[in-house]
Structures are given as C-alpha cells and as structure tokens.
Amino acid sequence: QSAIFNFQSLLTVILLLICTCAYIRALAPSLLDKNKTGLLGIFWKCARIGERKSPWVACCCVIMAFSILFLQ
C-alpha cells in the first residue's frame, strides 16, 4: 500500500522526514536556512521540529521502531 493510505506508514514517513531534516541542518545549516518560506520551507520547519522537540521525536522513533519490528 501507499504511505498516504496507511496511517502507520504515514507516521513513519513523517518521523523519517523530521529526523532527516534535523540531521541535514546539523551538518549543513545553509542548505535549509535559505528556504524558510514556500514549498521548500516544509523541510526547514521539519528541521526546527526535530531540533526543538528532539526528546519527543526520539521517543516516537523508538515506539515506531518497536511497533514495526514486533507488532507487524
């Protein structure tokens, strides 16, 4: 199935997007900082969520990994 129609897959994609954007911003901040508005601003916003809410994002990643590995 597509990740759009499966809720757990959609959450997984969103978590991976947040983690990836935060990692890219940590390595090369200029890549995401120049696109704060528009369509590419979504990646900057995901990076900000990953930076500011990192304990919550990490907890969600662990829970999602557990559910994918052991509950499916």
Query: Contact at 8 Å (CB) between 18 and 57?
Result: yes
pLDDT at residue 45 in the model: 92
14-36 pLDDT per residue, tens: 999 999 999 999 998 888 888 88
pTM: 0.82
Q: Which long-range contacts (CB under 8 A, 24 or more apart) does 13-20 make?
A: 15/57, 15/60, 15/61, 15/64, 17/43, 17/46, 18/46, 18/47, 18/49, 18/50, 18/57, 19/50, 19/57, 19/61
Tracing tokens 């990740």 back to the chain, one arrives at 3
pLDDT at residue 68 in the model: 87
Query: Contact at 8 Å (CB) between 57 and 35?
Result: no
35-66 pLDDT per residue, tens: 888 888 899 999 999 999 989 998 999 999 99
